[in-house]
Amino acid sequence: MAIPSFVDRATLLAVAGKGGDGCASVRREKFKPLGGPDGGNGGRGGSVILRVDPQLTTLVDFHRLSVRKATSGQAGKGDDQNGANGDDIVLAVPDGTVVSDAESGEVLADLTGAGAEVIAAAGGRGGLGNTALASSARKAPGFALLGEAGEERKITLELKVVADIGLVGFPSAGKSSLIAAISRARPKIADYPFTTLVPNLGVVVAGDTTYTVADVPGLIPGASQGKGLGFDFLRHIERCRALVHVIDCATYEPGRDPVTDLDVIEGELKAHGGLEDRPRMVVLNKVDVPDGAELAEMVRPDIEARGLPVFEVSAKSGEGLNALKFAMAEIVAQTRKEAPEPEAARIVIRPNPVDTGGKDFTIARQGDGEGGFLWRVKGEKPTRWVAQTNFSNQEAVGYLSDRLNRLGVEDELLAMGAQAGDSVAVGGQDAVIFEFAPQVQSGAELLSRRGEDQRLDHERPSATRRREEDREYHEARDAYGVVGRDPEGRSWRARLAEEQAGEQTDEF
């Protein structure tokens, strides 16, 4: 199947990069055992960004390649080395591209103007290393946080042509011939309906004014309901500053005349909506045909009575084209003067806040109570914290329990009637299920008390052994006055052992 050269609608799967994992490392130097945490943070994952390129006029690149993935961030390393960030992917789109969510249909951004951009999928944040997790209570964490997964979003790209003048009319009314006569555009021209299947843009110069004219697919009755190429046509005229009705004065189709054609087209524009404020002009085309010239002369007073300027032209012979070009230039100059100054602002997706009643989480109870209830804890923070936790590390699980308790999850569960032994699911689709045990830290109590690290708060066996040897040394020095070997070569330890053995013999 041949790939079209013009595509005005495409679907893109944007996959952002995952954040790098944090590093759990302890500095080890000579004469400095357990010198403190030195694990670095993970790098941020790359994002997928859409940016307007004025040189593009089609979405064909996304038709050829509909999946784009950014790179992931690197993991942190010891010696406080942070991981590198993933590379962003910047995708060029034409001016006038509307970005919407393919599943919900929500419009995410309307990209107009050179350089306008939007983040289609944000990269995941990197996990914190144990250096960043250290505190006065947890001096040497033996764990680090995992990197967050990047966003994966299916979006729809829809191109709406940005032009100053939009030519509207029935099929074969001469719109393509007109744009070819007043500009250097060379659209396909033929004597059958729907010759134009895609919009054509032409640049017109009239005096000091330069403007663009769009020749878009023709309309038929019912176009606002999708008949013919109605939806495609109406989408592309929404951004035009002014509309020009091109009416065929030499048609031989029964039931058609210039006034009726004008009423039908205006009816479809009104049904579509949003175009009532656009200036309008009427072009009576094909006056080079004798019958066409007579018909144009007859209907011109009726159309002018509606307050619309009328121009009799012939795209074939060039009659009346010069006056039409300057009239369109005057309208464009006036609309540009009245238009507000565009603001060069970066477009950023800002998700709507979730109403949780002033809390960062919600709790719902499920089940009938037989065998215990299941309590579901949802919220942005709990979901993110679960994704960051390495459940193979007991201390990391305890840290997650600390965070949830500080957030007030445990107090809320007790207030709602949760009992010890009930199941608690924390997170979204990939929820983790715990057994509810109030005031007990999930696994972290195996290592230390809450907020402490036993490697620093408890005495190591080597230190205990040295302290015991020092005590024995001082007792021997006090008893014998000397701690070296005696003339017989016995050490103070041997003499102390003989003395203790003699005391045991006397007892018996």
The annotation places the binding site for GTP at 169-176, 194-198, 215-218, 285-288, 314-316
Residue written as token pair 């189709």: 253
388-392 own/partner pairs: CB under 8 Å, 24+ apart: 388/127, 388/145, 388/146, 388/147, 388/148, 389/145, 389/146, 389/432, 390/143, 390/144, 390/145, 390/146, 391/432
Please say whether the beta carbons of 101 and 155 come within 8 A.
yes
Alpha helix segments (H runs only) across 312-460: 321-338, 380-388, 394-407, 409-415, 454-457
The first and second tokens of residue 460, run together, are: 């190591």
> Residues annotated as binding site?
169-176, 194-198, 215-218, 285-288, 314-316
> Residues annotated as binding site for Mg(2+)?
176, 196
Phi-psi region of 273 (alpha: psi -120 to 50; beta: other; left: phi over 0): left
d(CA 28, CA 448): 22
DSSP secondary structure, 217-259, as one string: PPP-TTGGGT-TTHHHHHHHTTT-SEEEEEEESS---TT--HH
d(CA 142, CA 179): 72
Write the CB contacts of 205 (distance below 8 Å, at least 6 apart in sequence). Answer: none
d(CA 436, CA 423): 6
d(CA 247, CA 299): 11
Which value, in Å, is the radius of gyration of the alpha carbons in the chain?
A: 39
Strand order in the sheet with 423-426: 362-366, 374-378, 423-426, 432-435
Write the CB contacts of 245 (distance below 8 Å, at least 6 apart in sequence). Answer: 168, 169, 262, 265, 280, 281, 282, 283, 308
Strand 209-215 versus strand 165-168 pairing type: parallel
> Reduced to 3 states, what is the DSSP secondary structure of residue 210?
strand
335, 336, 337, 338 alpha-carbon torsion, rounded to 10°: 50
Minimal CA–CA distance to 124: which of 90, 82, 153, 85? Answer: 85
d(CA 414, CA 426): 16
d(CA 434, CA 423): 6
